[in-house]
A and B are shown apart, each in its own frame.
With several copies, the nearest count.
Chain A
Amino acid sequence: MIRERLIFEISDKGKKGFTFPELDVPEKKNLTDSIPVREDIKDFPQVSELEVVRHFTRLSQANYCIDKGIYPLGSCTMKYNPKINEKVAQIENFISAHPSLDPKFCQGNLEILSELEDMLIEITGMKAFTFQPAAGAQGELVGMMLIRACLEDRGDPRKFVLIPDSAHGTNPSSAHICGYKVKEIKSNKSGTVDLEDLRKNMNKDVAAVMITNPNTLGIFECQIKEAAEIVHSQGGLVYMDGANMNALMGICRPGDMGVDVIHLNLHKTFSTPHGGGGPGSGPVGVQKGLEPYLPIPRIKHKGSHFSLDENYPKTIGRIHGFYGHFLVVVKALAYILSLGPDGLKEASETAVLNSNYIRKSLEKEYHLKYKAPTLHECVFSDKYQKKHNISNIDIAKRLIDLKVHPPTMSFPLIVHGALMTEPTETESKADLDLFIDAMKQIDREAKENPDVLKSAPQESYVRRLDETKAAREPRLRWKP
């Protein structure tokens, strides 16, 4: 493998990758006379189109991706991103539409937003959705703002938000930006929210509980209705982190479990590509009582005529420059329309089947802290391998050599040395087996040949990277 140099290192004076047509209006040199004009940008790249194409072609090949193999990164729902979705999102009249167009010129776009809203309402059992949130975390923030606005309207925004110890890090962070203090709720032995702890902590100062269902262990919060009752009985609201909705489509609906507000990740459950870190889309759904607070503008329709409505005096306001990630919405709608009711259910069922197949196949080799049944994902740990001084990181890096993507390790924090594994429904048995066999091989190697794990990855574009050095001596941009 030859490392691809930085573009700045192949740049040379006078090389060109693009040319604009000649200026066709009379040039007025004096236009810049009284405005602050910059000097030449030192070291800004100068390369040919071929050099750019090679650069990014080679860089692209240094990435692992769904299109290359199984990607069982837990909590991320790395399912296949259908190519037709990409194609429809490139239709000229979508991509060239200015967001300030008069609604009469963009009826198609508005209808698409409205259609997807209707579908998500049906899938989740909520009453209305906004598409402004750009990703899951912004959805959480909007959700908490809605709750706060609602409670404020009732007289008291309250102070606390309860969050299970198994939650994703964005949950407490979002609650915090919304002005709430976070209290952690313990998980019980089965890995679900400890109702006793919830009851103990729930009071009139608590605005909401943020619950993930199925939770980040892949376990369904079977007492969610009871939990919701506890919260509601004290005047609080229930927020559901819908990142794991891929387990539930057509099976059960958050709206039927006492959930007041939910966010979805279109870039997980609804197959829109993750793009190496976005753009995502984190639509937020609410029950009727919270609808007045949704961000504006909202899409309304009279018959088949669609309009943008800002007349919501109680709205929390605007959270995105325009209407959120329209092109991502297009892709998600294409996905839902492609699968239909049976396909969505089949997707969830198969996601759960695949996950349980992995769980069962590896339960001898890898420790499972929580034994409760799991749905779309399960969280192993490195406990057995730790005896041989092998950590989840070593396991992950060795998986890279074995040509599969490692599971998630950064959370849930309640499982030490976590290996959170979510295969999704689109994987073939052969690819599931590739992962299972690699994991089994690693377990054997932990005992017999730990060095090969410690020194992994060996066959990757770079060897194991020094993260500590990166943080201690930050080099965050190229300099000549």
Chain B
Amino acid sequence: MSYISLSQKDKKEMLKVIGASSPQELFDSIPDDIKLKRKLKIPKAKTEPEIMEYFNQMAHKNKNNEYICFQGAGAYRHFIPAAVDYLSSRGEFVSPYTPYQAEVSQGTLQLIFEFQTLICQLTGMEISNASLYDGASGTAEAVLMASRINRKSKILVPKTLHPHYREVIKTYTKNLDMDIQEIKYDDSGQISMTELKKHLDKETSAVLCQSPNYFGVIENLDKISSLAHENKVLSIAVVTEASSLGLLKPPGEQGADIVTGEAQSFGIPLSFGGPYLGFMACQKEFLRQFPGRISGETKDVNGNQGFVLTLSTREQHIRRERATSNICTNQALCALRATIFLELLGKNGLRQWSWQNLQKANYAYDLLKGIKGVKSPFSGKVYNEFVIQTEKDWADIEKGLMKKKIIPGISLEKYYPELKKCGLVCVTEVSQKQDLDRFAEQFKEILSA
């Protein structure tokens, strides 16, 4: 299939205008010795029916649809209203560029402005940007931002922060003379306050706190922020399960200076890990160090309200190497999905949603903990994810349950060798009671086998 819109006649006429005899001639500026003298070795063109068939076959090689899956850990299965798919697939949203020409991009600019407002409302912060790539790189950006703000380089990263996020922070900061220190967790599954106090000092730029954390446990962000502030250290709150923002006290009311994270839960499908939706919000005083695009309200020559990309002096187009980030293309279409999702749910729907996640996960948690041989290594309160521990290796549990078409969660062994017999289970509103009951039953069976 070719997507060219020229006829042979058009081509001829155009070549005539140009004064060339063939399109090939237009490449004369490329030295002959680097020209490719052969055809590209890729399969010959497929037509649309063949493309459809090819990808259906690929999809068929995946087996995920055959399983009930209790995996979370930074990527969450939630219901997506039909209106989200419909509206966000309109060509007028899908096919424009970044809204550089504001007058013909008011749709995108206004929706970003609404997105920013919603993020502020959810996080309890004063300003938000238009999005960042994902939660992991967003967190890395927050670390860089903190360090720009207070010109300090020690960052305290709890082990309860998503291991991938910790890795991305390491990758981002490796070449920047920064000192990343990891903070252990305690028996509650929360950041160990003793450890934190040990590491926190005046040299510290920021302390990170993911809540609910990687183990699903709700952290004491309030206390951590206070401790940070006492030492003139910035408090960075990280959210990987954005649905929790409908229920938990917003980071902004728990002392966070910067809030960042992943908003995939807001109407964005799992999609094997991407594209997702990084977000960041902060207090006004840090605006000048804030990374990413921002839509701002202004007026047109008639005095009518309108929106533009603003404060771009922070960005690389103008400030080049001194920009607050190198990010250019971000996740606009994902931000659109989140905006539609949140506006559909509305105040009550959002609350109901978070509430059901809390209730269902804790129902399953209780069921599983009630099984002989299962215990919970952590005493902290959980939102919609939790860790359970058995006498068997998690890999064996997994193998057994997979035979029953259940994927029980995620093994913790890789990043937490000390939790080898533990698994991280996520339960959202999409799970029905009968699924949870069956899960627990099968779990029991396997343990008693």
Select one of A7, A16, A112 contacting B2, CB under 8 A.
A16
Which single residue of chain B is at the shortest CB-CB distance from A408?
Answer: B100
A135 touches B10 (CB 8 A): no
List residues of B (57-97) whose CB comes within 8 Å of A's CBs.
57-65, 67, 69, 71, 73-75, 77, 79, 81-83, 85-87, 89-97
A279 touches B103 (CB 8 A): no
Decide if A126 is an interface residue (CB 8 Å cutoff): no
Docked pose: A177 CA to B141 CA in angstroms: 10
A15 touches B7 (CB 8 A): yes
Docked pose: A353 CA to B8 CA in angstroms: 13
A27 touches B381 (CB 8 A): no
Decide if B155 is an interface residue (CB 8 Å cutoff): no
Interface size of A by Cβ–Cβ distance < 8 Å? 211
Interface string of A177-221 (1 = CB under 8 A from B): 111001000000000000000000000000000000000000110
A405 touches B101 (CB 8 A): yes
Chain A residues whose C-beta falls within 8 Å of the C-beta of B176 in the assembled complex: 177, 179
List residues of A (38-82) whose CB comes within 8 Å of B's CBs.
38, 40-53, 55-57, 59-68, 71, 73, 76, 78-82
Chain B residues whose C-beta falls within 8 Å of the C-beta of A455 in the assembled complex: 301
A305 to chain B, nearest CB (A): 11
A426 touches B4 (CB 8 A): yes
> Contacts A277-B98, A320-B274 given: A86-B89 contact, CB under 8 Å?
yes
B71 touches A138 (CB 8 A): no
Select one of B13, B218, B287 contacting A474, CB under 8 A.
B287
Interface string of A123-135 (1 = CB under 8 A from B): 1000000000011
Chain A residues whose C-beta falls within 8 Å of the C-beta of B61 in the assembled complex: 107-108, 111
A249 to chain B, nearest CB (A): 8
Decide if B371 is an interface residue (CB 8 Å cutoff): no
> Contacts A52-B340, A63-B92, A88-B51 given: A135-B298 contact, CB under 8 Å?
no
Chain A residues whose C-beta falls within 8 Å of the C-beta of B363 in the assembled complex: 25-26, 28
> Contacts A38-B250, A477-B117 given: A428-B81 contact, CB under 8 Å?
no
List residues of B (146-199) whose CB comes within 8 Å of A's CBs.
162, 164-165, 167-168, 170-172, 174-177
Decide if A344 is an interface residue (CB 8 Å cutoff): yes
A162 to chain B, nearest CB (A): 12
A471 touches B55 (CB 8 A): no
Decide if A418 is an interface residue (CB 8 Å cutoff): no
Docked pose: A132 CA to B133 CA in angstroms: 11
B273 touches A326 (CB 8 A): yes
Docked pose: A97 CA to B299 CA in angstroms: 44
Q: Output the residue of B17, B112, B410 with the most chain A CB within 10 A.
A: B17
Interface string of A86-106 (1 = CB under 8 A from B): 111011111111111110111
Which single residue of chain A is at the shortest CB-CB distance from B315?
Answer: A169
Chain A residues whose C-beta falls within 8 Å of the C-beta of B299 in the assembled complex: 465-466, 469
B29 touches A327 (CB 8 A): no
A67 touches B343 (CB 8 A): no
Which single residue of chain B is at the shortest CB-CB distance from A265?
Answer: B329
Interface string of B288-308 (1 = CB under 8 A from A): 000001111111111011111
Decide if B392 is an interface residue (CB 8 Å cutoff): no
Chain A residues whose C-beta falls within 8 Å of the C-beta of B448 in the assembled complex: none
B81 touches A84 (CB 8 A): yes
What bracket does the count of chain B residues touching chain A fall in? 35 or more
A274 touches B96 (CB 8 A): yes
Decide if B404 is an interface residue (CB 8 Å cutoff): no
> Contacts A176-B321, A278-B331 given: A97-B271 contact, CB under 8 Å?
yes
B306 touches A465 (CB 8 A): yes
Docked pose: A28 CA to B381 CA in angstroms: 13
A478 touches B107 (CB 8 A): no
Select one of B5, B47, B81, B307 contacting A427, CB under 8 A.
B5
B71 touches A100 (CB 8 A): yes
A339 touches B26 (CB 8 A): no
Docked pose: A439 CA to B282 CA in angstroms: 43
Select one of B62, B127, B330, B333 contacting A108, CB under 8 A.
B62
Decide if A361 is an interface residue (CB 8 Å cutoff): yes
A252 touches B346 (CB 8 A): no
B15 touches A353 (CB 8 A): yes
Q: Output the residue of B60, B246, B308 with the most chain A CB within 10 A.
A: B308
B327 touches A135 (CB 8 A): yes
B93 touches A60 (CB 8 A): yes
Docked pose: A320 CA to B136 CA in angstroms: 6
Chain B residues whose C-beta falls within 8 Å of the C-beta of A78 in the assembled complex: 97
Select one of B39, B46, B87, B164 contacting A53, CB under 8 A.
B87
B40 touches A410 (CB 8 A): no
Chain B residues whose C-beta falls within 8 Å of the C-beta of A342 in the assembled complex: 39, 44-45
A470 touches B329 (CB 8 A): no
B216 to chain A, nearest CB (A): 12
Docked pose: A11 CA to B274 CA in angstroms: 32
Q: List 14 A-B contacts (CB under 8 A).
A: A6-B113, A23-B360, A25-B363, A56-B336, A83-B86, A99-B273, A108-B57, A140-B326, A170-B328, A276-B333, A279-B331, A320-B134, A336-B42, A469-B299
Closest 6 CB pairs of A and B: A322-B273, A340-B45, A99-B273, A275-B333, A277-B332, A67-B91
Could you list 9 further interchain pairs (A-B, Cβ under 8 angstroms) beyond the known A31-B381, A148-B175, A471-B311? A56-B336, A68-B92, A83-B81, A84-B83, A96-B64, A108-B58, A123-B42, A138-B133, A176-B322
